[in-house]
């Protein structure tokens, strides 16, 4: 009898087979050798069943049927991948043992657990737990397979996460949707993330800018020039500011204070997934999902980086030797010069900035592997470059500076100057050439974020004689204005999700909050994408803005009195509890009881909530106007406070309900999108799929080419693909045509003229 190896995806399975069964026969959906049969899942082959699997009545969304609380959760195969699930079951019958080789993380554990449950696999199971897919790591992993019992707590945490999300998401979404007659998606993680974005946008809109004045003076002493900023209470009087500038201009002053100290800057931390996503968003504008997909390809397909879905910025003692070998490998790549300049003695088990086993959970930081990269796409090269440069930077000494701080006094007025003199670039030689963080030539007047004081970065020696006079060669008063908080980008939102919305700049505190963030590194990108798909947020370049529907959703949830649904800190506490379950430090049953009680409280509170006016969900002019108006500044009140927001001078549109609206949420027909399994229900302006939460975007709009799509026409479109002949009126003359369903995956319609 053989051993069945179940990988998470085909590429992983084939990579594993090449190491443990190099002569295996390829059978399309599996490979078979002398000792092992290697097959794979294709992501999630199974998922939790929809409510109607428990009772037919749940096909209709009815508030009176809530809450829905399964005694035992059912799982169902994904229709699109059921053949692969069947293959795994048939192969398992021929094997006496199984190796779980799915991704070494919570989701990978869950994928295997559902397969094992559905197929009723009883064979003993071993766990392959590796951080990269190099041949060396795979061979080492199979030589030291873990017993599956070591990961039982992780499986329980994965089940708890999935079932908690189902309970809250299914019940809250149905409650708010049926109460307010608009499809509203609510979730344990997505809703507090939406609330973060909403609150930031409200801060920006309600921000009152304050005009103030800054006085800067140019000084010279024996050929040395520098600039100082006037010190005192914030100036709000322009005449007073101009008077100070006039007072000191052309006068002689003295050095009141002069302090010089040596400073060092150490390399930035090695990447975890969230940090990598933040950097890629800031530098290349990549979305969190795009960065994750690229990193996964670099890991899974190209095998040039280690497991990317990690929350750690450190490595263990076992990784140090591999890091030294990788440094040597990089000497024969385009990174030759940087690799040869690195000092392997700097990276050792005593370097806590790199090697800190207590801070490594399931996986160490993202590292380049020993495999030389082949042909990478431009985007893959960008992400690989970030990982390699961050890795190499730790083989270099700190950057060294002299920090000069001086106070210059002229006519009893004091000006402060900060000069940062570069002594040695150290690790900063590893930064990309176009990076503004202290490149090879240095730069002038680099502004520190959130500080009014400018810092001048110079690469030539800087010195001032504290006893010699200085001349004020010029002075100028400049009008400035206080700035509102910055809108979230995907990068800054990921940072906020990591710390459950707390503005924590202290790195130690941020690290402590990592297991209490919103979601996990592996799920945060999907949460952001989910908010886009359901129409709650939209992108304006890199900036994230809340749509009118998103605003109303947050306000309805808060007004219902279920603040926990929008509370990042409380949801973060739930994530911490899931983490504790995975470590055996908390009970799954108690967590689920709390989730059930919370779900019941949501239903009770929504039941008492007044129904929202349909106009509150209508998009504002900026949303409807496409790219031309997306930059319009929202200046009115949010819906629910002032009866609709205004964008510039244009008020939010108030459309009347479409003909035939109010038909309820009775399923009208199965969704025609292949493999979906959802039902079409009637919304205000169209017929959409109940599986919108799983990402189905199928919708047939009620109005098309001047015709109203009735229930009967909808049925004909779905069954026959086209309507009967209709008369279309046009200025150039009437004509006969049929409306056809052009795309069964999206609901796109077309007009087909009848032949004359």
Which residues are identified as catalytic? 307
Give the residue from 643, 672, 650, 684 showing the smallest Cα distance to 749: 672
Separation of alpha carbons 97 and 125, rounded Å: 6
In the block, residue with structure tokens 């369903």:
741
What token pair was written down for 127? Answer: 């766990």
Q: Are 464 and 404 in contact (CB under 8 A)?
A: yes
Q: How far is CA 384 from CA 118, 291, 334, 374, 380, in A?
A: 38, 11, 12, 12, 6
3-state secondary structure of 570: helix
Max alpha carbon distance in the chain (Å)? 100
Q: Are 402 and 423 in contact (CB under 8 A)?
A: yes
In the block, residue with structure tokens 């006016």:
613
Phi, psi of 99 (to 5 degrees): -115, 120
Separation of alpha carbons 636 and 645, rounded Å: 5
Residues in the chain: 756
E strands in 432-566: 446-447, 454-458, 470-481, 537-540, 543-546
Q: Are 514 and 99 in contact (CB under 8 A)?
A: no
Tell me the DSSP string of 216-238.
Answer: EEEEEETTEEEEEEE-SSPB--H
Q: Are strands 413-424 and 454-458 parallel, antiparallel or unpaired?
A: parallel
Separation of alpha carbons 604 and 179, rounded Å: 12
How far is residue 371 CA from its own chain's centroid? 28
How far is residue 596 CA from its own chain's centroid? 27
Q: Are 680 and 668 in contact (CB under 8 A)?
A: yes
Instruction: Give long-range contacts, CB 8 A cutoff, 24+ apart: 429-433.
Output: 429/338, 429/341, 429/396, 430/267, 430/338, 430/389, 430/390, 430/392, 430/393, 430/396, 431/389, 431/393, 432/385, 432/389
555 CB neighbour count, 10 Å cutoff = 18
Separation of alpha carbons 102 and 80, rounded Å: 19
Separation of alpha carbons 626 and 178, rounded Å: 30
Torsion region of 255: left, alpha or beta (phi above 0 gives left; psi -120 to 50 gives alpha)? beta
E strands in 448-557: 454-458, 470-481, 537-540, 543-546
- The DSSP secondary-structure symbol of 620 reads P
Strand pairing partners for 470? 253
Characterize 512-533 residue by residue with b for buried, 16 or more Cβ atoms within 10 angstroms of its Cβ, and e for exposed.
ebbbbbbbbbbbbbbbbbbbeb
94 CB neighbour count, 10 Å cutoff = 11
The alpha carbon dihedral of 247, 250, 252, 257 has a sign of: positive
Those residues with Cβ within 8 angstroms of residue 42's Cβ, 6 or more apart along the chain or in another chain? 9, 10, 81, 84
Those residues with Cβ within 8 angstroms of residue 4's Cβ, 6 or more apart along the chain or in another chain? 36, 37, 39, 88, 91, 92, 94, 95, 97, 98, 99, 123
Give the residue from 610, 723, 714, 710 showing the smallest Cα distance to 661: 710
- The DSSP secondary-structure symbol of 406 reads E
């Amino acid at each position: 009898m053989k051993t069945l190896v179940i990988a998470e995806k085909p590429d992983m399975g084939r990579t594993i087979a090449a190491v443990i069964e190099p002569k295996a026969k390829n059978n399309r959906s599996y490979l078979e050798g002398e000792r092992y049969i290697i097959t794979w899942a294709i992501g999630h082959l199974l998922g939790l069943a929809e409510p109607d699997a428990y009772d037919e009545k749940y096909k209709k969304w009815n508030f009176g049927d809530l809450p829905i609380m399964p005694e035992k959760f059912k799982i169902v195969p994904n229709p699109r991948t059921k053949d692969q699930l069947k293959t795994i079951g048939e192969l398992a019958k021929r094997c006496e043992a199984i190796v779980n080789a799915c991704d070494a993380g919570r989701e990978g554990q869950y994928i295997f657990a559902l397969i094992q449950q559905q197929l009723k696999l009883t064979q003993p199971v071993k766990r392959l737990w590796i951080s990269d897919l190099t041949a060396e790591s795979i061979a080492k992993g199979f030589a030291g397979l873990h017993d599956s019992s070591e990961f039982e707590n992780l499986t329980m945490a994965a089940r708890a996460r999935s079932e908690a999300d189902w309970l809250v998401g299914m019940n809250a979404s149905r409650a708010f949707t049926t109460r307010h007659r608009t499809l509203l998606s609510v979730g344990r993680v997505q809703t507090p993330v939406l609330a973060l974005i909403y609150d930031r946008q409200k801060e920006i809109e309600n921000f009152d800018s304050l005009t103030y004045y800054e006085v800067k003076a140019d000084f010279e002493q024996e050929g040395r020039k520098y600039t100082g900023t006037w010190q005192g209470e914030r100036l709000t009087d322009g005449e007073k500011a101009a008077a100070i500038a006039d007072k000191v201009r052309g006068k002689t002053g003295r050095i009141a204070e002069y302090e010089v100290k040596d400073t060092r800057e150490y390399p930035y931390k090695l990447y975890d997934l969230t940090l990598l996503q933040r950097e890629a968003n800031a530098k290349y504008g990549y979305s969190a999902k795009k960065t994750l997909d690229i990193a996964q390809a670099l890991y899974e397909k190209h095998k040039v980086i280690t497991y990317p879905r990690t929350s750690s910025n450190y490595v263990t003692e076992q990784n140090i030797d591999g890091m030294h070998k990788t440094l040597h490998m990089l000497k024969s790549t385009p990174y030759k010069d940087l690799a040869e300049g690195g000092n392997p003695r700097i990276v050792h088990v005593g370097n806590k900035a790199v090697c800190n086993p207590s801070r490594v959970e399931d996986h160490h930081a993202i590292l380049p592997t020993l495999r030389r990269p082949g042909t990478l796409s431009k985007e893959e090269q960008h992400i690989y470059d970030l990982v390699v440069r961050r890795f190499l930077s730790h083989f270099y000494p700190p950057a060294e500076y002299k920090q000069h701080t001086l106070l210059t006094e002229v006519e009893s007025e004091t000006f402060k100057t900060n000069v940062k003199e570069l002594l040695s670039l150290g690790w900063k030689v590893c930064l990309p050439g176009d990076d503004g963080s202290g490149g090879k030539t240095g730069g002038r007047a680099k502004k520190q974020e959130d500080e009014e004081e400018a810092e001048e970065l110079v690469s030539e020696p800087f010195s001032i004689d504290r006893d010699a006079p200085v001349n004020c060669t010029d002075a100028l008063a400049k009008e400035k204005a206080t700035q509102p908080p910055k809108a979230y980008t995907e990068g800054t939102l990921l940072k906020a999700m990591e710390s459950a919305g707390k503005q924590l700049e202290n790195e130690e505190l941020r690290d402590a909050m990592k297991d209490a963030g919103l979601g996990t590194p592996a799920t945060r990108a999907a949460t952001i994408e989910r908010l886009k798909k359901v129409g709650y947020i939209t992108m304006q370049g890199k900036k994230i803005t809340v749509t009118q529907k998103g605003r109303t959703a947050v306000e309805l949830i808060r007004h219902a009195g279920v603040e926990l649904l929008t509370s990042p800190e409380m949801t973060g506490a739930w994530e911490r509890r899931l983490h504790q379950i995975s470590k055996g430090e908390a009970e799954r049953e108690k967590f689920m009881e709390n989730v059930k009680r919370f779900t019941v409280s949501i239903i009770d509170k929504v039941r008492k909530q007044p129904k929202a006016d349909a106009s509150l969900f209508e998009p504002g002019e900026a949303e409807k106007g496409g790219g031309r108006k997306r930059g319009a500044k929202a200046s009115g009140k949010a819906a629910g406070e002032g009866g609709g927001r205004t964008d510039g001078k244009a008020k939010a549109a108030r459309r009347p309900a479409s003909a035939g609206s109010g038909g309820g949420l009775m399923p009208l027909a199965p969704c025609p999108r292949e493999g979906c399994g959802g039902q079409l229900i009637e919304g205000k302006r169209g017929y959409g799929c109940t599986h919108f939460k799983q990402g189905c975007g199928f919708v047939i709009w009620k109005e098309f080419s001047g015709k109203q799509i009735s229930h009967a026409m909808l049925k004909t479109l779905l069954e026959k693909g086209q309507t009967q002949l209709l008369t279309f009126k046009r200025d150039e003359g009437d004509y006969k045509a049929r409306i056809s369903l052009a795309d069964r995956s999206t609901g796109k319609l077309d007009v087909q003229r009848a032949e004359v």
